[in-house]
Structure 1
């Protein structure tokens, strides 16, 4: 008996793929399996909704079906789960016009206008949203963008029960957001894409790994793992993505451009030296790091803010002290995909101390937690390391609204992190797209990051005091204790100052305004003036009545 996964619950990559496998059906069969008929006269509206909920989000009980075999309604109304939200991929019933999970309109214009498209109205019913101020702006920095339409050819050949979250529309929505914001193509330099060579790939991956990926070119459809697909164009898309990242890194190191944004897919940070996994074929950030070193960089910093730990990047550079890897990710004690990235994982051999993991213990982590971790862990260590270039594995699945991440980082939060990293390595900064599966969230977040790369000041955060959550604070303290053995920037005085600031901040936030004390009003017992207590009355209240 197949169970339809509940799309209102955020799923990580592993559970998402497991839900697809459990159905054991292709897209048409899955939709057909959700068909049902309800009597117009015998079942009321609320009962219909309840039945629909059970069929779409719950289990189908075959025993109930047998009991109803002798029931013949006079008329039937057929409802199907027929459309999937373009923004978050949630299945919705035919009669609805807005997504149940994210409220995006069924015919949203997000692929044409990105995050600037109206969320609740049909495309074409509103004027084209444009950032007029941005259209008149000239970038104060030489910012390059790497992109190629052929990366859109990498797509799941046959849909399972739901559209795959790592889909071509991710790039379309981001590019539409760049265009509507006036940042692309006029505000940036477009770097032409090229296919990476096998020699360059094998500086990061094994020969066997490269051969396995290339072999998919002759197959219409294939799967490396239950959630990592390929079609006949996937190897080409992966070569283009890696080539874009390598060329952008070289251009930044040589001074041709100041910084860059690699708008690429398939993503890469889960791909290990010999393993394809987690939607990732080749490790783009690692290839960019190797290209940077070939262009003259002696030390490379990789900061990974994707909500999932970059197990591939850590594994590839685990023994290499010339590459410092810092990852901020949801971990939950190893229960969140891919399970690696605990604070005590610090690298090994010559690379011990050059892997820094900031593992969030729960969902709901937001801007303040990330910024505090940047201020007290990431930046002090990064500046002590003094890299020649900084590469960001920029997954936007920690963004608010992402169906897999479950965190609360806003576009302003990503912009602030970008601004902080631009103070490292002389501003030589390469942002490489990784995950992110809510189209509106990734379009807004990527655009906010690109604005900072182009020289705009980031939007200020709502909470000026930047008080982290208790879970975020505990994580920063844990990492501080582990990494202070390797980095003198995390010295005891700085640690005590941070702890004092946090405690004072929370004490200040917890204070409540004191109620104004009013003098106690005591009713004057006038009758005392008539008897023996008149002297007491005179002493307490005076002679006036």
Structure 2
């Protein structure tokens, strides 16, 4: 997964004559290398690595069109490159990396279901939640969380909940399960809308709530820029906890993108290490309440490579009920320096509560 390398340019975009030196694409291998270093330093006794198998075509094609899978493999075999006018690109190693990333997500879901009470974590690269059934999108090629959920369904799991706290809308996961009720999808994200008419038509709006049997089971929660620790706690209190509790899943998968942090160049939110610690703790409690403790974390975004380590440490501190006293930093976040505008967050969350109330009885689930 480290060998996947998108093309350089002006940040995530093609080169520009006003930028003298190209820079690495934000989906850099250092992202996951830093997370691994954090895990080895902070949790040396608890930490165990398992090499995942590659996902095979049967597993991938439960989500993705065979024609698209064939196109991606050919495109990468020819050396890859930038996909038309998008910010997504790849090299010759990307198709293999994406198969291993999907395989890691499947293995994490299987580990969650095996009764061992571990905390399965798929350190995936490339990420997956933007990848749609028929196209790559948003640095993603195969939808790791969706493929893992389909693998669970194939093993007889009746209800799976996917919670996506990546700061960007999980449009590919939405597309995969939009007309189904056996997979609940809850996505909290900045209100960025569609960023490409062809490759990213979904907007992540409240009214993209599913269709047919899936109506009401696609729960989008747009968040205003500047949402921080308090806002995400309120998000769980008002929406995530009640809806997931009412759904009562057998398995919870988390699209765990830590790009809602205050230093991320690809986002505008203010969640600190402490806020991610709270998300991890809330996830653990919710899984114990609803899914017999069965949950798995699947890595998505996070593009400030140093803060990604602090934020992901927070998630693991929460799910493991541990606090790590770091030299020079203690329990703090060196990037957490802005106050959160709370009134707008409350206003938007209550709008989401009102909208989704047509599908969920808040009186019975709060």
Q: Which TM-score tier does this pair reach, normalised by the shorter chain?
A: 0.7 to 0.9
Partner of 1:446: 312
CA–CA distance in 2 between the matches of 1:389 and 1:195?
A: 22
Partner of 1:483: 356
1:394 is displaced (CA, Å) by 0.9
Q: Residues 224 and 277 of structure 1 are in contact (CA less than 8 Å); yes or no, is this contact kept in structure 2?
A: no
1:222 aligned residue (81, 84, 88): 81
1:428 aligned residue (287, 290, 294): 294
1:178 corresponds to 2:50: no
Q: Which moved more, 1:416-425 or 1:393-402?
A: 416-425
1:165 is displaced (CA, Å) by 0.3
2:204 aligned residue (341, 348, 359): 341
In the superposition, relative to structure 1, how do residues 414 and 218 fare at CA in structure 2: closer, same or farther (>3 Å)? same
1:452 is displaced (CA, Å) by 3.0
Residue by residue over 1:320-364, the C-alpha shift from the partner in whole angstroms, topping out at 9 and shown as x without a partner, is 1011100110005x3778661111211111000001111013x21
1:375 aligned residue (234, 237, 242): 237
Q: Residues 217 and 235 of structure 1 are in contact (CA less than 8 Å); yes or no, is this contact kept in structure 2?
A: yes
CA–CA distance in 2 between the matches of 1:288 and 1:257?
A: 18
1:400 corresponds to 2:259: no
Gapped runs of 5+ residues in structure 2?
1-9, 325-330, 334-339
1:416 aligned residue (266, 278, 289): 278
Partner of 1:322: 182
Residue by residue over 1:207-264, the C-alpha shift from the partner in whole angstroms, topping out at 9 and shown as x without a partner, is 0111112113422232224311111111110000000110111121122453211111
Q: Residues 283 and 313 of structure 1 are in contact (CA less than 8 Å); yes or no, is this contact kept in structure 2?
A: yes
CA–CA distance in 2 between the matches of 1:329 and 1:336?
A: 14
2:227 aligned residue (362, 365, 390): 365
2:165 aligned residue (296, 305, 310): 305
Return the TM-score normalized by structure 1. Answer: 0.58
CA–CA distance in 2 between the matches of 1:335 and 1:312?
A: 12
Partner of 1:516: none
Partner of 1:472: 345
1:214-363 matched pairs, under 5 angstroms: 214-225=73-84, 226-331=86-191, 334=193, 340-361=203-224, 363=225
Residue by residue over 1:169-195, the C-alpha shift from the partner in whole angstroms, topping out at 9 and shown as x without a partner, is 1011111111221x14x3123222111
CA–CA distance in 2 between the matches of 1:329 and 1:448?
A: 19
CA–CA distance in 2 between the matches of 1:335 and 1:254?
A: 38
The number of residue pairs the alignment matches comes to 337
Residue by residue over 1:49-72, the C-alpha shift from the partner in whole angstroms, topping out at 9 and shown as x without a partner, is xxxxxxxxxxxxxxxxxxxxxxxx
Secondary structure in 2 aligned to 1:422?
helix
In the superposition, relative to structure 1, how do residues 172 and 460 fare at CA in structure 2: closer, same or farther (>3 Å)? closer
| Structure with bigger gyration radius | 1
CA–CA distance in 2 between the matches of 1:187 and 1:216?
A: 40
Secondary structure in 2 aligned to 1:301?
strand
Secondary structure in 2 aligned to 1:191?
coil
CA RMSD of the aligned region, Å? Answer: 2.5
CA–CA distance in 2 between the matches of 1:318 and 1:493?
A: 23
Partner of 2:3: none
1:460 is displaced (CA, Å) by 11
CA–CA distance in 1 between the matches of 2:70 and 2:269?
A: 37
CA–CA distance in 1 between the matches of 2:231 and 2:147?
A: 30
CA–CA distance in 2 between the matches of 1:468 and 1:391?
A: 29
1:2-41 matched pairs, under 5 angstroms: 17-18=12-13, 20-21=14-15, 23=16, 30-31=19-20
CA–CA distance in 1 between the matches of 2:248 and 2:314?
A: 26
1:388 is displaced (CA, Å) by 0.8
Return the TM-score normalized by structure 2. Answer: 0.86
In the superposition, relative to structure 1, how do residues 477 and 256 fare at CA in structure 2: closer, same or farther (>3 Å)? same
Larger RCO, structure (CA 8 Å, separation 6 or more): 2
CA–CA distance in 1 between the matches of 2:178 and 2:256?
A: 20
1:294 is displaced (CA, Å) by 2.4
CA–CA distance in 1 between the matches of 2:87 and 2:50?
A: 31
CA–CA distance in 1 between the matches of 2:332 and 2:221?
A: 24
1:204-215 matched pairs, under 5 angstroms: 204-215=63-74
In the superposition, relative to structure 1, how do residues 336 and 272 fare at CA in structure 2: closer, same or farther (>3 Å)? closer
